[in-house]
Structure 1
Amino acid sequence: MLKSIILPVACCLVLAPDTTLAQCAGSGSNLVAPYASNSSNKGVMFNITATNTVTIFCFDANLPALSIGGYEIYYRSGTYVGSETNAAGWTLLGSAGSILSIGLNEETPLTIPVNLIMTAGQTYGFYITASNPILSTGLLTTSNAGYGTINSNADISILGGAGITYPFGTVTANRSFNGTVRYAPGVVLPVTFKDFNASSMNQFALLEWRMESEANTNFYSIERSSDGTNWEEIIITEASEGDGSSAHLYQEIDYNPQEGINYYRLSQTDNDGNRVDLQTVSWKKVTDFSEGELNAFPNPGKEVVRIFANSAELKELQVFNAMGQNISENIEIRNYNGYSELHFGQSKPGLVIVKAKTLSKRLMIE
């Protein structure tokens, strides 16, 4: 496994120190939007407004009896009203492949970590939805008379509600969320998580996550699953050696993804051995790689850099220095299925240009 790239970034999610709380096991503070279903929808949007600063850990929801399906949770800063069909206005918090309903009008935990800080006076919109095309009824809801407060306590209020077809489709107004918001008052840990993404790099998965701060963090781990239920740990990455107060970007590659949909779950383990699941994302393996892409990982690089492109492009790989001189003979080039490795050894050429058959890429060697 290549060492992770760690780069400064801008940041908004904060981790909970207690794994039990972060996994929706039922402890900690909570507020219930009544489980009093008389309607159903594929998904539901609603608002949460914070009276005091809180950390939202996760949700339970009212799922159809005897159902099992995949679910996704999105959020946006500000109200959902006016953005019901605007997918670009929402951020995916995570997904889970197979959630089994506990029963009608019961609290079924959604195994998707939220770990979101809300400051006093702030409103966030949330969108919880079934993602399975065959699961026509994803969430049970309650018909209401219009936008209003569903329930509230001294810390937060649950407001509004609209049924939504997947994804960000037809809107059915006046449908209240049935569920439990699990949270803790205040900011629970000075470790701030921004996002976790999976994207294609040839037929491999590029996994990236951003931390705004990471005091008391030992390492991160990534697990992979084909169904969102059975997990296999595939990557362990040491935390930055900095003081823990600065932002970092981490990158890793899954070189052996499974055919079809892959679920990736990112976790953080602190120096005391406590683990928190941060976010789960899904990614589909790409088998038809574009002719027009040339990617390098890591970049900046050190002794070894991997180049990803179509196999026809990789057959004619050359490396030039900043003066335009061909330095390929000084670099060991190893070819594999779907990528090539450039071994620079102890040389530090600085900026180089990697040229394939028709493509090129700037690469910094430190």
Structure 2
Amino acid sequence: MDYTIVVIAIFIVALVAVGGALLVIPRRQVGPAEKKPEIERPEGGSGAGATAVAEDEEAEGATAVAVPEAPAVPAPAPAPQVELPPPSAGRLVRLRARLAQSQNVFGRGLLNLLAGDKLDEETWEEVEEILITADVGVTSATQITDALRTRVKVLGTRSADEVRALLRAELLAHINPDLDRSVRTEPHGDRPAVILMVGVNGVGKTTTAGKLARVVVGDGGSVVLGAADTFRAAAAEQLQTWGDRVGATVVRRGEGADPASVAFDAVAKGIEEGAGTVIIDTAGRLHTKTGLMDELGKVKRVVEKKAQVDEVLLVLDATTGQNGLRQARVFAEVVNVTGIVLTKMDGTAKGGIIIQVQRELGVPVKLVGLGEGPDDLALFDPEAFVDAILESS
């Protein structure tokens, strides 16, 4: 009995000792790496959107949703660089080699015949034929041939230098270096000089208008371009490109707009800006179409309500020969043509058209186009032209 009580007492003491020890042992601390990461909430986030974001972040293996980037905004196109063209003075001289190459058949053929050992009737007929083939015209060709024949007989000798001098003098006399070939680009007080570009389709009218603007700017002037060719959509764009390159304002309207109205607005813009010159590009017209030609007359009349028309430049393709002369006659009847621009003089041996068109119309050739470059339009210089022809041999 006493033994049992002792055992029970010992057991109770042992339980109490073990229980106290358990109460004294501290709990194990959890390290920072074992802490469960907290989910960040968007600042100020609440509602369904914020809850959805939290749930996506808590989901194990959740796939991130890519947010599409805003479309890139294209950079604005750079403004066209304004060019400073070279001055007009001396352009034809600089282009002499090109002119000589295109006219070498004309000049070399004449010099070879005239410097030959025998100048009989057959030779003189060949001289006249070369002149006619070069579009000098029958009347002028006969006059030049007769004059050369007379002078050769008087001189008696025909050295190469003498022949060259004789031929030069005769060609110059028929080209007439005394004609006024200046292009009027100077303003009249507060009114700009106005130039109308006219001609048939395909002769290079719009290109010539742009090149002429470069000539004026190169000489220190200012230009407004009028895109009055409203029948050809590309014409206004083409003229705009030319204007942008030299910093010239271009007045244009939609396709099919009234050409006279566009021309009038171009002159008004020129007055507003204080420009020295307004160049108006008109639509190409068939010289056989009466209605189109009458419309050209209307353009000129409407412009004259605002300012004086100083130049009406008829653009002709030098390769068209007699057809070009017929065109010139009709245009001269509708508008008072003041000058001729001959394009494509770099690709033809028919430079004699200069003599013929001046003889028939009494209008001087003022400008010649000698290539496709932007500065290949030159003021016509009769002496430089003849020297280039005779230099080719």
Same fold (TM over 0.5): no
Name the structure with the higher strand share.
1
Structure showing greater relative contact order (alpha-carbon pairs closer than 8 Å, 6 or more residues apart): 2
Per the shorter chain, which TM-score range? under 0.3
Q: Normalising to structure 2: TM-score of the pair?
A: 0.22
Q: Normalising to structure 1: TM-score of the pair?
A: 0.23
